[in-house]
Amino acid sequence: DAMVIQNPRYQVTQFGKPVTLSCSQTLNHNVMYWYQQKSSQAPKLLFHYYDKDFNNEADTPDNFQSRRPNTSFCFLDIRSPGLGDAAMYLCATSRTANSGANVLTFGAGSRLTVL
């Protein structure tokens, strides 16, 4: 089945210790997104790639970086995690970006705990 896979599902790190979360997709979608979601809050878009074009949200901290080495993979790097970065990180894909009927397909998420 075509899908979006995130690894790891659960990540525990220490304050300030870098973390990399990965996302892969078999849908061949052009757009890949990274969202941060804290408990009982709306998903917050961090950035997205349209093919190789990187689009950073204005309020995404510099502590968060992303890489998309090819169509199938996308990585989220948190350079120096703080306690406030503990959250669920959701990867999503879509066929296109500038469309109203743009359905997102999400991965199962990576839950980050910062000690």
Partner 1 sequence: GQNIDQPTEMTATEGAIVQINCTYQTSGFNGLFWYQQHAGEAPTFLSYNVLDGLEEKGRFSSFLSRSKGYSYLLLKELQMKDSASYLCAVVDSNYQLIWGAGTKLIIKP
Interface contacts to partner 1, rule CB under 8 A: 4, 40-45, 88, 90, 97-109, 111
Q: What is the largest CA-CA distance in the chain?
A: 40
Phi then psi for 82, rounded to 5 degrees?
-105, 170
Nearest to 37 by CA among 70, 73, 3, 76: 76
Residue closer to partner 1, measured from CB, 15 or 54: 54
CB of 80 to partner 1, least distance (A): 26
Pick 86 or 88: Cβ nearer partner 1: 88
Min CB(59)–partner 1 separation in Å: 13
- At closest approach, how far in Å is the CB of 19 from partner 1? 19
Other CB atoms within 10 Å distance of the CB of residue 57: 12
Give the tokens for residue 61. Answer: 């901290």
